[in-house]
Amino acid sequence: MLFLFVLMLGCVEHYRVAVTVDPMVQNCTCLGYLSEISDMGAPQINPKFTYDAQERVLRKADMMNATHLVWIGDYPFAAAAMIYRCSN
């Protein structure tokens, strides 16, 4: 049982981006706006039904060295956020 738990933890992505709200990033540098849609595949041929839009935004924000993220829209099929870099 412990092995299964450790195996599941290895699959979790860890990002260096803190999800926060607008008032917390007032003194930060805005890096821009990110939006993504889930990769659903070709619906007529082989639908994937994956809902990974939020993870895609987090991954991109992490690659851009953002420290904070404020969700604008967060749905299973699409996500959008403003990303910031804060000094402290």
What is the tens place of the pLDDT at every residue in 6-15?
334 444 468 8
pLDDT band at 3 (very low <50, low <70, confident <90, very high): very low
User: Is 83 a residue whose pLDDT tops 50?
Assistant: yes
At residue 76 the predicted structure's pLDDT band, cuts being 50, 70 and 90, is confident
Say how many domains are in the chain: 1
Is residue 6 a part of any domain in this protein? no
pLDDT at 10: 45
The span from the CA of 18 to the CA of 15, in Å, is 8
Is residue 9 a part of any domain in this protein?
no
What pLDDT is stored for residue 33 in this prediction? 96
> Residue 22 sits in a domain of what CATH number?
3.30.110.70
Contact 81, 31 (CB under 8 A): no
The per-residue pLDDT for range 37-74, each reduced to its tens digit, is: 887 666 666 666 678 889 999 999 999 999 999 999 98
CA 45 to chain CA centroid, Å, is: 28
Q: Are 74 and 54 in contact (CB under 8 A)?
A: yes
If we measure between CA atoms, which residue out of 77, 85, 65, 78 comes closest to residue 20?
Answer: 85
Question: Where in 9-77 does DSSP place strands (E)?
Answer: 18-19, 29-37, 68-74
Is residue 58 domain-resident? yes
- Residue 61 is assigned to a structural domain of this protein: yes
Please check whether residue 60 lies inside any domain of the structure. Answer: yes
- What residue numbers bound the domain in which 40 lies? 15-85
